[in-house]
A = this chain, B = another copy of it.
Amino acid sequence: MAQLEPQRQTPAATECGDGALLRRLLGTRHLSLELAAPLSPEDMTIQPMDDASPTKWHLAHTTWFFETFVLRLHALDYRVFDEAFAYCFNSYYESEGDRQPRPSRGLLSRPSSERVLAYRAHVDGALERLLTRAPTAEIARLTEIGINHEQQHQELMLTDILALFAASPFHPAYQEPRTRQAPTQADPLSWLGFPGGIRSVGHDGRSFAWDNEQPMHSVVLQPFALADRLITNGEWLGFMSDGGYHQPLLWLSDGWATVRREGWQSPLYWHRRDDTWQMMSLEGLLPLDLAAPVCHVSYYEADAFARWAGKRLPTEFEWEIAACDLPPSGNTLGSRALRPLPADNGSSDKLRQMFGDAWEWTASAYAPYPGYRPPKGALGEYNGKFMVSQHVLRGASCVTPDGHSRPTYRNFFYPHQRWQFAGVRLAKEDG
């Protein structure tokens, strides 16, 4: 992993020059392979559920993305690796033609993992040649998008591998369990207040950001307070033992219908064994860590928990204002913990766990900002067409690549989805 150090030590915003871009590109490309390394070809091929994709597919799709949006358009002498791959590895770009249906990504035993690695090498070589010669601003822009796109898929890869291993009767571990610290107890939750007023939110466009973070614009906020840390597994057990999953009045109507239809009794990946709770993780089945943040809960559950607690979820703008001066770092992928960890104790006068551990569900529906315009061309499909029926999550998780997130970053999922590393931070009115 030594070769990735530069990337993690040198965040994107401070690097400059073409060499830096190429280094970041190759570091990112390499990290994907490193993440896939513990897997067998079989592990890499299976699709555990419709929402998740095989690792092999992620490796190929991110490569197709560079091939399609960078090399085909800007590398004149580029030879397409295999014309048939566009059908296999296009995710959802209608502009780019027909594609393998999402729930059938797991039917692709061919091309083999080996051939996908050859595809990556082919594309990496071409990218390296392209970027070594001073790239145009457009090439640099598209490469930057490709890097950020691949980082998103790195997170999804780990998320989907967990889904795969959780579906196995063997509960295999993706990585060896780390030496475990003595169990800790979480500090009592404390609150940090923020004044209301007219505040500016969204990204200013001076460095890389997704279209959905823009334009920057003003919003009115009421005074509010945020909990200083994420809700823990121990607190979630309190919700459960108080009948949380059995009291309809705690739930949104759609949420309650989902609880009943799906038989939810706990967060995803929790297992009751005799009288103790275990949790499936990338380190296999572990005893539930009561001080660690709860994770793999849906929006419905996050919202019900908040109601049970007499609080609410923050809006995405409250979260952003609270986060805007914090360094966007924490227990993210670089730490290789690969699971949410207890908050550092003894520092409850500031917000903890804002970046890393678990994405934080917000009360905000995923919607365009005032004046939002998707980019021209196929990349215009990247974010805009998903702006309905989903909720925004803020922060980052334990499997988010280092440096990928920022205070304005908007992640989004449907309110019933649980396989993401998503947790809960509470908010309340203040003053």
In the complex, the answer to whether A220 meets B222 with C-beta atoms within 8 Å is no
CB pair B220 A218 closer than 8 Å: yes
Q: Are B371 and A367 in contact (CB under 8 A)?
A: no
Query: Would you call A429 and B371 a contact (CB within 8 A)?
Result: yes
In the complex, A182→B412 CA distance in Å? Answer: 51
A255: B residues at CB distance < 8 A:
388
Q: Which one, B43, B106, B251, contacts A46 given CB within 8 A? A: B106
Interface flag for A276 (CB, 8 Å): no
**A219 at the binding interface (Cβ < 8 Å):** yes
A285 → B minimal CB distance (Å): 14
**Among candidates B113, B218, B368, B429, residue contacting A42 with C-beta atoms closer than 8 Å:** B113
CA distance A367 to B252 in the complex (A): 12
The CA-CA distance from A367 to B164 in the complex, in Å, is 35
What's the least CB distance linking A296 to chain B, in Å? 18
Instruction: Answer whether residue A353 sits at the interface, using C-beta atoms and an 8 A cutoff.
Output: no
Q: Which residues of chain B are within 8 angstroms of A219 by Cβ–Cβ distance? A: 219-220
Q: What is the CB-to-nearest-CB distance from A430 to chain B, in angstroms, rounded to a whole number?
A: 11
A385:B222 contact, CB within 8 angstroms: no
- Distance, CA A46 to CA B56, complexed state (A): 13
Interface of chain A residues 95 through 136 with chain B (CB within 8 A): 95, 100, 104, 106-113
Closest residue of chain B to A94 (Cβ to Cβ) is: B248
Q: Would you call B386 and A109 a contact (CB within 8 A)? A: no
Task: Say yes or no: is A172 at the interface (Cβ < 8 Å to chain B).
Answer: yes
Cα distance, A198 to B300, chains bound together (Å)? 32
Q: Which residues of B contact A241 (CB under 8 A)?
A: none
**Which residues of chain B come closer than 8 Å to A222, judged between CB atoms?**
217, 370-371
A87: Cβ under 8 A from any B Cβ: yes
The answer to whether A299 touches B109 (Cβ under 8 A) is no
For the complex, is A234 an interface residue (Cβ under 8 Å from B)? no
Indicate whether A333 reaches chain B with its CB closer than 8 angstroms: no
Instruction: List A residues 159-173 near B (Cβ within 8 Å).
Output: 164, 167-170, 172
- Give the chain B neighbours of A42 by CB distance below 8 A: 41-42, 44-45, 56, 109-110, 112-113
Q: B-contacting residues of A (Cβ < 8 Å)?
A: 40-46, 48, 56, 84, 87-88, 92, 94-95, 100, 104, 106-113, 164, 167-170, 172, 198, 217-222, 248-249, 251-256, 299-300, 303, 363-365, 367-368, 370-371, 381, 385-389, 391, 415, 429
Interchain residue pairs A-B with the least CB separation, the first 8: A365-B365, A94-B248, A42-B109, A42-B45, A43-B109, A218-B220, A253-B385, A107-B167
